[in-house]
Amino acid sequence: MRLWAEEGIVELYLFLAMMLYFFLEGGRRIMKLKDQILKQKMLALYSGVFGITVASYGNEIFGQMPTAIINYMSMSFVFAASRWDNEQTEEETS
């Protein structure tokens, strides 16, 4: 709601589109992981970001300083996990 009040409807739609992309594509990538331990860790990060995003509707939690860093790092870890899984699988086959 803060984005809508301060930046306007365009910024709100841009943020929602970005979050929707993360949740759909991140969830798809997590489900394709073969390593079960890595999958559990990525699901924990994914769930944490989802919970904070939902809680940010009424009170701006997502953009606060320590939480923002953790959220954006968690998003990057979720997207990098498929690369880590591929590297681990290649090492096991060699």
Digit-coded pLDDT (tens) for 19-75: 999 999 999 999 999 999 999 999 999 999 999 988 887 777 777 888 889 999 999
**pLDDT at res. 39:** 95
**pLDDT at res. 94:** 66
- 77 has a pLDDT exceeding 80: yes
Q: How far apart are CA 74 and CA 44, in angstroms?
A: 9
- b/e map of 10-34 (b: 16 or more CB within 10 Å)? eebeebeeebeebbeebeebbeebe
**pLDDT at res. 70:** 92
Give this prediction's pTM: 0.81
Mean pLDDT value of segment 72-85: 93
**pLDDT at res. 91:** 76
Q: How far apart are CA 87 and CA 18, in angstroms?
A: 27
